[in-house]
Structure 1
């Protein structure tokens, strides 16, 4: 990856997730010395601070199948504009979260500048629900669907256009907890999903070779959306929706190292770090370690 200057954006989003605490994720990642590491790797880094996000206690939950819809839409519009401004300045947008509903804004902001955006979704979940299929009504489980143009019109049309990405340019890696509606949508749209079964069976190296081939084929940029619950809870305990049997610390590093070698990533976000349920900021430290690999850190 070339040394394009990096702009850090904090997104203390705590509205799309049913478990409190992810609003402190950006601070936890900063505390784990993200900026220092990136500078040691030779990057020029600016941190423009956190966007303002209302707390759940200060607003009405609204429709229980689309909780905090209006507030999430407004904040994601703001994030999309901020990310777009970073890209316009020819800088790399790096967003710290925050629950995964924020990806609606991140992807929208990036997609304004890429006609055919590739997307790597590193996650235990597919986040392909809608208000009709979601068991919880939490919008963090709908963010990929929204980016694909599926869901409530207020979310789908953030940024003034839809869809932001197309199914043939999307790869989900690490999935192991899918709802029935998500399975149907995956089949309907033909989205490529590498489940933990696939990773166990063919290995992370082959998974990443195939994933990189898919997201870089006839695309003009690639966004990495990395949910820390993609890792096994033993390695990343501070996440709101942990699922046993996830990717190991080393498998995840290999994935990030291969992305760095391919030099395809043009924007990234690291989400769902919850320091309240973490152990000594372990999950934020893992996020920063993986970040280092994405930006070219090597053993030798």
Structure 2
């Protein structure tokens, strides 16, 4: 992996309606992410946290989209920063914040690739739009936006769309998928490994199959978008939308180690750490441990 790494914190909590996830980047830093990666001999550039504008007062949802203008503005800033990092041939590591920030991350990355692949490690598919979302929370929409489906103020971030092809996506760990998302998965032929398939096949086979699938698509880079709610809430309680029946810490370590061994990952983001809902920073500490495995930490 590229040993030149730049960290961008995005204290975004406007893509949903529970406060606290804006403190996720600080919690992950407090859990020792920089020290952990320095031990792995990375050249680390910490770009600090983006400034995210707050709504003046509680706004009505526009087109069933909560905080549309502020979420858009924050993602435009993020796309510009990520674009600069990739232009300098550095590995972008984005720390969230809620998962709406994936719109900006992918917008900044994908323009540098002809055929970017995405591994979406998440309990949710995040393929809603204003028309299908039960809540209007934009953190449930970034994958749809990135394939060009959704409000034009979001799909057009960073001046182009779509960012990625539906057939270049692998969703791993899905166990809470809305009806509109199911229909879109079928319509677009998006590859999904639900928890049923993880249980039946085992994590090792799922990761082999995921990497093999992306290789068959001839991708020229792979972005990992990891939502901490992919883990079981008993292991990672500090998330805003916990769903029972998730990954164990051990399974996720194996997944990250296999991604590292593949030498395919070219960018990553870790999102949805909410220290207000956490227990003694347990979830942020897990995020740091998984980042260590992704970026090359070995027991021997």
Do both share a fold (TM > 0.5)?
Answer: yes
Q: Do the aligned residues in 2 keep the contact of 1:170 with 1:214 (CA within 8 Å)? A: no
**Worse-matched range after superposition: 287-296 or 46-55:** 46-55
Deviation per residue, 1:203-230 (Å, 9 max, x gap): 0000000111122331111100000000
After superposition, residues 112-123 of structure 1 pair within 5 angstroms as 112-123=111-122
1:201 alignment counterpart = 200
Which consecutive residues of structure 1, in runs of 5 or more, have no partner in the other structure?
A: none
1:130 alignment counterpart = 129
1:162 alignment counterpart = 161
Aligned-partner Cα distance in 2 for 1:223–1:71: 25
Q: How many residues of Structure 1 are paired with residues of Structure 2 in the alignment? A: 299
Give the drift of 1:167: 1.2
Which consecutive residues of structure 2, in runs of 5 or more, have no partner in the other structure?
A: none
**Worse-matched range after superposition: 96-105 or 210-219:** 210-219
2:177 alignment counterpart = 178
Aligned-partner Cα distance in 2 for 1:96–1:59: 26
Matched residue of 2:126: which SS? coil
Within the alignment, does 1:281 sit opposite 2:281 as a pair? yes
Matched residue of 2:173: which SS? strand
1:42 alignment counterpart = 41
CA RMSD in angstroms, aligned pairs only: 1.1
Deviation per residue, 1:38-83 (Å, 9 max, x gap): 0101111010100011235656344161011111111101100100
2:109 alignment counterpart = 110
2:297 alignment counterpart = 297
Q: Do the aligned residues in 1 keep the contact of 2:16 with 2:66 (CA within 8 Å)? A: no
Q: Give the direction of change, closer, same or farther, for the CA distance of 1:14–1:207 in structure 2 (3 Å limit).
A: same
1:189 alignment counterpart = 188
Deviation per residue, 1:161-212 (Å, 9 max, x gap): 1111111110000000000000000000000000000000000000000111
Give the drift of 1:4: 2.4
Give the drift of 1:158: 0.7
Aligned-partner Cα distance in 1 for 2:113–2:42: 23
Q: Give the direction of change, closer, same or farther, for the CA distance of 1:29–1:61 in structure 2 (3 Å limit).
A: farther
Matched residue of 2:181: which SS? helix
Matched residue of 1:93: which SS? strand
Q: Do the aligned residues in 1 keep the contact of 2:54 with 2:70 (CA within 8 Å)? A: no
Aligned-partner Cα distance in 1 for 2:141–2:79: 17
TM-score by length of 1: 0.98
1:251 alignment counterpart = 251
2:99 alignment counterpart = 100
Aligned-partner Cα distance in 2 for 1:255–1:103: 20
Matched residue of 2:172: which SS? strand
Within the alignment, does 1:142 sit opposite 2:141 as a pair? yes
**Worse-matched range after superposition: 178-187 or 160-169:** 160-169
Within the alignment, does 1:264 sit opposite 2:264 as a pair? yes
Q: Do the aligned residues in 1 keep the contact of 2:61 with 2:136 (CA within 8 Å)? A: no
**Worse-matched range after superposition: 133-142 or 58-67:** 58-67
TM-score by length of 2: 0.98
Give the drift of 1:18: 1.7
Within the alignment, does 1:78 sit opposite 2:77 as a pair? yes
